[in-house]
Amino acid sequence: MSHDLIVIGGGIVGAAIASTASEAGLRTTLIESALPATGATGSGMGHLVILDDALLALSVRSLELWRTLPDRPGTEYRNTGTIWIAETEDDLPGLEEQSLHLATHQVASHLLDHRDLHALEPDLAGDLPGGLLVPGDATVYAPKAVAHLLGRARRAGAHLLLGQKVVALTGGGVRLADGEKLTGVVVVATGPSGSELLPELPVMPRKGHLVVTERAPSTITHQLVEAGYLHGVRETRHATVAMNVQPRPGGQLLVGSSRESGIQDRAVSVSVVSRMLMRVFRFLPALRERKAIRIWTGFRPATPDGLPFIGQVPGRTDVWAAFGHEGLGITTALGTAELLVDLLLNRPVRLDPKPFNPARAIEA
Amino acid sequence: MTEHFDVLILGAGPAGLAAAETLAHAGRTVGLVDEQTDPGGQIGRRAIRQRPGRAFRKTLTRLRANDRITYFPSQRVVDCDPHPALVTESDLGYTRLTGASLILAPGARELVLPFPGWTLPGVLGAGGLQALTKSGWPVRGRNVVFAGSGPLLIASAHTLKKEGARIRVIVEQTARREIARFVAKLPAWPSKAIQTLTFTLGLAGIPYYTDAWVTEALGEERLEAVRIVQRGRSSVVSCDFLGTSLGLIPNVEVALRLGCALSHDPHPTVRVDSLQATSQPGIYAAGEITGIGGAELARLEGTIAGHAVAGELSKARALAPRHAHWARFGAEVARHFALRDPLRELAGSQTILCRCEDVTLGEIDAVADTGSIKLLTRLGMGPCQGRICRAALAELRPGYGTVTPSEISRPPLFPARLDTLADQALKEPSS
C-alpha cells in the first residue's frame, strides 16, 4: 500500500506530525508499536516551558501554536506560568540575564524580589531571595494531548496502525514485524529509541523520576522550578536533581526532577528519589508532610549536543528524523511538526532549521 | 530506625498470629507488623464498648508476654525489598525492618462492584460498616440494609443488630436452594455449623431475601433508600445505611513488589507450595493472600508457614490433611455463593467506577484501545492506588488490560509522606 507519509511513533511528536501533515493534505499513516503516549510522552510532566537555550525560537513558536490549537480544552491546557526560583543571591544575575534574553524573543517575564515571590507563592521557604515569572508558560496532560492530536489526524484522513512494529527501513518505505511492506516518505519519531532504526543518529535515554501526591489544599499555582535547573540540564555525566513542582487540577502536585544517563533499568531508585525530594524540601519545606501516591520513571531522548534531529537524513532515500528533544518534546512538538512538514513540502520555513539538521551527526 | 529479626511477619490476623506463635515457640525472634491498632485482623476486631473477649485477651497477653515477638501495630508498609525488608510508616515516623525470612499474611479487602448510587454517603462495604460499628460509630436506631452474597452479610448484620441498629432486610443474591445445598454440607465443619446457627438465631425476625439484589441506591445528598429486585419484582426500602458484601480480594501488593509469582482468577492470589513457600526464596505466604478460605484455613496456613520457616518440616506436613479439609470449606463457600452475572450488569454508563478520579464506566468504555484506559481516564491514579476500581473493572470488563504488574509494583505501596520516602534511602544498604 502506498502513502505520502509514514510516521513511526505515537508519542507527542509523531502525533503532532501526523496531525499537521494530514491537515496539509498528505495521505498519512502513523505506526505505533505499543499504544499512543506510552513512552517518554506519557512519563513526563507536560510542562510547556520556554528555556533560555538553543531551542528558544522553536519553543516560542510552539507555545504560539499550543495557544491557538483548536479545541484546546481536550488537552487540559492550563496557563500556569513558570516561576524560576533563586536559591541564593548568586542566582539573581542569571535570572536577570534570562529575562533580557527572553525579551529579545518577545517573551514576557517579570523579575520578582523576595516580597513578590512570597506573595505569589507563600509556601516557598522564607529565605529565598527572588525569582523570575514567565507568565506565558503552561501545562498540558500529555496523554490527552496526544489523543487530541491523533483525533485531529484521523478526522483529516490519517490511518493509525497500533501494536505494529517497524523492523526495517526499506529505502522508500518500511517493513513491519508481520512482513507487510508500506511505501512512502518515512518520518522516524520514536524518541528514545530513534537510533534503533537510524543508528547514525545517536540518542541516549536519560532517565527521570516523578512523584505525584494526594489531592490536598495547596497554595501553589505556578510551575515552580529552581534557577539551578538549567545547570542540571546541561550536566551529562551523573545523576542530577533539581526542584521542579507542578500543581495539577484538583490539588495534586507533580514533584520532580532527576536526570541520569547510561541507565536502562526502569526501576524506581530510592536514593535518587531521596536526593530529589531533599532538593524539593529546600524550596518547599511544607511538602515533607504531603503524601505521595505514586512514583514512576521515564526516559528522555537525549542527543550529544542537546538538540533534536529534525529534517531529512542524508544517505537514505526519503527518510526524515524528528526525535531527540530530551525534556522539551511536549513543549516543542507542534513547532517541530510545523517545521518538518514545511521542509517536506518545500514551503518557506518560519525558523532556521540548520541547528536541527541530522546531517551534523553524520558529518561529525 | 532499623531492626532485625529472624523472621518478619506482615499481618497480625489469624494467619500472622499463628505463624508468630509457632516461630516464637521454636525459639525464633519475630517482628510482627500490622496495620491495625489491635491484633486479630479484620475477623478479630472487637467492639470498643465491649469488654475484650477471652480469646482476644489471651492473644494480647500471649503477644505481650512473649519476649521473642515484637509487635508493631498501626504500621503501613510503604516499601519492601526481597532481602527481605519492610519499610513501614506510622503517625510517629517510619521504620525499616529486616529479617532472614518473611511471612506475608496481609489478608484481604472487600470487593466493591459499582451500581447506580453506590458513591452516596451511607453506602459502605459490609465489613467496613461492621468495623466502623465495632470502633464505636453510633448505629443505634438507624435503619440498615445488607446486600450481596455469602456468610459475611450475616456476620455483619449480627454485629450491627447487637449495637442497636434496625436491620430492615438482608438481601442475598444466591438462590434459596443453593444456600440449602451449602447448609446441608456444613456438618462436615461442626464449628461453622454452630456459628451459623448462632448468627441465624440472633437474626430471627429479620427478613432474609434470597435470589435478590440491590439495583440502585437512592437519595439526594446521602442514602435514603435502596431499590431491591427479587425474581423480577422491584421494591424500595428506606434505610440510612447499606452494607454490601460481594466477596474478598487478597492484598497482594507487597508480594507483587517482592516478585512473588501470582495466579489470576480474575483477582490475583500468591502462589505457594505445600509448605506455604512463594516463588521467592525465604518468602512465605499464608491466609487469604493465597486464596480466600476463611479464618480456620488462614490459622492453619500460618502454623504451617511457621513450622516450615523454623525447619520443622514434619510438623508442617502433618497439618496437610486438616489444611485440605478447611480448603474444601473455602471452596464450598466460593462455589455456592459465586457472584451471578446480573450483579456485574448494574452499573450504567453514568455510574462512577473510580471515585478517586471521578471516572465513569461510560468514559472507560469510550476509550478505543483498552490498554490506554489508565493513561487517558486516570483510572486508578488516585489515593486508593487502584485497589478498588481495578478489581471492579476486572469483574465488569474482564477483557480490559488496564495495568501491567510493573506499574503497580512500585513504591509507595500505600500513600506515604514525602518525608518518609526521602529519609528511608539513608537506611538502604549501599548497593
Per residue in B21-75, pLDDT (tens digit) is 999 999 999 999 999 888 888 777 665 555 556 666 677 777 777 889 999 999 9
pLDDT, average across residues B146-174: 93
Overall number of domains in chain A: 2
My answer on whether A115 and A257 are in the same domain is yes
End-to-end C-alpha distance for chain A, whole angstroms: 37
CB burial of A160-182 (b: ≥16 within 10 Å; e: otherwise) equals bbbebebeebeebbbebeeeeeb
- Cβ A290–B423 below 8 Å, yes or no? no
> DSSP string spanning B348-396?
-TTSEEETTTTEEHHHHHT-SSGGGHHHHH-TT-STTTTTTHHHHHHHH
For the stretch B47-71, what's the b/e string if a residue is b when 16 or more beta carbons lie within 10 angstroms of its beta carbon? Answer: beeeeeeeebeebeeebeebebbbb
Nearest to A83 by CA among A131, A19, A42: A131
Handedness of CA B172, B176, B178, B180 (dihedral sign): positive
| Rounded mean pLDDT, B84-99 | 90
Q: At which residue does the C-alpha cell 536559591 appear?
A: A87
State residue B39's pLDDT score: 83
Average pLDDT, chain B: 89
- Asked if A143 and B372 come within 8 Å (Cβ–Cβ), the reply is yes
Helix (H, G, I), strand (E, B) or coil at B87: strand
Number of H-type helices and E-type strands within chain B: 15, 22
**Closest by Cα among A180, A143, A135, A152 to A71:** A152
pLDDT tens-digit map of B302-345: 999 999 999 999 999 999 999 999 999 999 999 999 999 999 99
Q: Which of A213, A243, A270 to mutate to test the interface with B (most CBs of B within 10 A)?
A: A270
For residue B429, what pLDDT is reported? 47
Write out pLDDT tens, residues A2-30: 689 999 999 999 999 999 999 999 999 99
Prediction pTM value: 0.86
Quick one: which H or E segment has residue A184?
strand A181-188
Q: Quick one: A115 and A208 in the same domain?
A: yes
Half-sphere exposure of residue B416: CA atoms within 13 angstroms, side-chain side: 29
Q: Which of A33, A29, A41, A40 is nearest to A5 (CA)?
A: A29
Q: What percent of chain A has pLDDT over 70?
A: 97
**Rg of chain B over CA atoms, in angstroms?**
22
Chain B residues whose beta carbon lies within 8 Å of the beta carbon of residue A215: 382-383
Residue B74 to residue B88: CA distance in whole angstroms: 9
Considering the domain architecture, whether residues A111 and A230 belong to the same structural domain is answered as yes
Whether A339 is in a domain gets the answer yes
**CA quadruple B387, B390, B392, B395: dihedral, nearest 10:** -130
Question: C-alpha B374: how far from its chain's center?
Answer: 24
Q: Is residue A74 part of a domain?
A: no
pLDDT at A23: 97
Hey, how many other C-beta atoms are within 10 angstroms of the C-beta on B400? Answer: 18
CB-CB neighbors (< 8 A) of B421 in chain A: 211, 270, 273-274, 277, 292, 295
With CA atoms as reference, report the closest residue to A314 among A251, A357, A266, A255. Answer: A357
Last residue of a domain, one of A274, A302, A330: A302
Among A302, A317, A352, the domain boundary falls at: A302
Q: Is the ipTM of this complex over 0.90?
A: no
CA pair distance A84, A131, nearest whole angstrom: 5
State the DSSP string of B409-425: SSS-SS-EEHHHHHHHG
Residue A353, SS3 per DSSP: coil
Minimum distance, in Å, between the CA of residue B85 and any CA atom of chain A: 14
Give the residue numbers in B contacting A (CB under 8 Å), as ranges: 79, 369, 371-372, 375-376, 381-383, 385, 406-407, 410-412, 415-419, 421-426, 428
- A17 with A36, same domain? yes
Apex B30 CA angle, B29 and B33, nearest 5: 160
Judge whether A31 and A210 are in contact, CB under 8 Å: no
**Best residue of B96, B381, B389, B421 to probe chain A, by most A CBs closer than 10 Å:** B421
Q: Do B422 and A296 touch (CB under 8 A)?
A: no
A34: closest chain B residue by CA: B371
Contact B203, B167 (CB under 8 A): yes
Residue B396 has pLDDT above 70, yes or no: yes
Q: Which residue of B lies nearest to A293 if distances are taken between CA atoms?
A: B415
Please report the pLDDT score of residue B431 as a whole number. 37
The answer to whether residues A146 and A179 belong to one domain is yes
Residues A216 and A297 in one domain: yes
Q: Considering CB atoms only, which of A38, A274, A293 is closest to B422?
A: A274
> Could you tell me if residue A171 is inside a domain?
yes
Taking an 8 Å Cβ-Cβ cutoff, which residues of chain A contact chain B? 34-38, 42, 143-144, 147, 162, 211-215, 255, 266-268, 270-271, 273-275, 277-278, 280-281, 287-296
CA B369 to chain centre: 31
Percent above pLDDT 70 for chain B = 92
Q: How confident is the model at residue B297 (pLDDT cuts 50, 70, 90)?
A: very high
CA-based angle A348:A352:A355, to the nearest 5? 140
| Residues A146, A270 within the same domain | no
Interface touch A294/B385, C-beta < 8 Å = yes
Expressed as residue numbers, the domain containing A232 is 82-135+204-302
- Residue A289 and residue B382: Cβ atoms within 8 Å? no
Cβ pair A246, A47 in contact under 8 A: yes
Mark yes or no for CB contact B381/A255 under 8 Å.
Answer: no
CB contact under 8 A, B418 and A290: yes
Residue B399: closest CA among B428, B378, B361, B371:
B371
Q: How confident is the model over B149-168, as a mean pLDDT?
A: 92
Answer whether residue A115 is part of any domain.
yes
Give the residue, B193 or B294, on which the prediction is more confident: B294
The CATH number that applies at residue A151 is: 3.50.50.60
Contact B418/A277, CB-based, under 8 Å? yes
Of the candidates A144, A277, A296, the beta carbon closest to that of B410 is on A296
- Asked if the Cβ–Cβ distance from B385 to A296 is below 8 Å, we say no
Residue B405 has pLDDT above 60, yes or no: no
Provide the Cα torsion A138, A141, A143, A144; round to 10°: -100
Residue A75 within any structural domain of the chain: no
Nearest to A288 among B382, B412, B419 (CB): B419
Chain A residue with the nearest C-alpha to that of B87: A270
Cβ-contact A247, A290 below 8 angstroms: no
Grade residue B430 by pLDDT with cuts at 50, 70 and 90. very low
Boundary (domain end) residue, out of A302, A337, A353: A302
| pLDDT confidence tier of residue B408, bands split at 50, 70 and 90 | low
According to the model, what pLDDT value does residue B389 have?
87
Using CA atoms, how far apart are residues A186 and A176, in angstroms rounded to an integer?
A: 13
State yes or no: pLDDT of B406 exceeds 60: no
A76 domain residue, yes or no: no
- The per-residue pLDDT for A3 is 80
Looking at residue A218, its pLDDT comes to: 87
Q: Using DSSP bridges, classify how beta strands B268-270 and B143-148 pair: parallel, antiparallel or unpaired.
A: unpaired
Chain B residue numbers with beta carbons less than 8 Å from the beta carbon of A271 are 425, 428
3-class SS of residue A153: helix
Q: List chain B residues with CB under 8 Å of A275.
A: 425
What count of other Cβ atoms lies within 10 Å of the Cβ of residue A336? 28
Q: Testing the interface with B: which of A248, A281, A294, A295 to mutate, by most B Cβ within 10 A?
A: A294
The CATH number given to whatever domain includes residue A238 is 3.30.9.10
Q: Report, as ranges of residue numbers, the positions in chain A whose pLDDT lies below 50.
A: none
Cis link prior to A257 (omega < 30° from 0)? yes
Query: What span, in angstroms and rounded, lies between the C-alpha atoms of A343 and A66?
Result: 20
**Nearest CA distance, B107 vs chain A (angstrom):** 22
pLDDT of residue B401: 59
Q: Are residues A120 and A258 in the same domain?
A: yes
DSSP character for A356? G
Whether B418 and A38 lie within 8 Å, measured CB to CB = no
Residues A56 and A12 in one domain: yes
From B110-124, B166-180, B266-280, B408-422, the region with the lowest mean pLDDT: B408-422
Residue among A209, A159, A38 nearest B402 (CA): A38
Residue A110 domain-assigned (yes or no): yes
Indicate if the pLDDT at residue B1 is higher than 60: yes
Provide the H-helix boundaries in B224-355: 253-257, 295-310, 313-318, 320-336
Residue A280 inside a domain? The answer is yes
Whether A37 and B406 lie within 8 Å, measured CB to CB: no
pLDDT at A233: 53
Classify strands B123-125 and B352-354 as parallel, antiparallel or unpaired. Answer: unpaired
Residue A20 and residue A7 share a domain: yes
Q: How big is the A-B interface in CB pairs under 8 Å?
A: 95
- Which residues have CB under 8 Å from B278's CB, separation 6+? B104, B255, B258, B260, B261, B270, B271, B272, B284, B285
Question: What is residue A310's predicted lDDT score, i.e. its pLDDT?
Answer: 98
Task: Give the length of chain B.
Answer: 431
Same domain, A208 and A270: yes
Alpha-carbon span A155 to A168, nearest angstrom: 28
Say if residue A29 is in the same domain as residue A160. yes
Q: Which residue has the higher pLDDT, A345 or B375?
A: A345
- Report the residue of chain A nearest B407, measured CA to CA: A296
- Å between A76 CA and nearest CA of chain B: 11
pLDDT of residue A231: 64
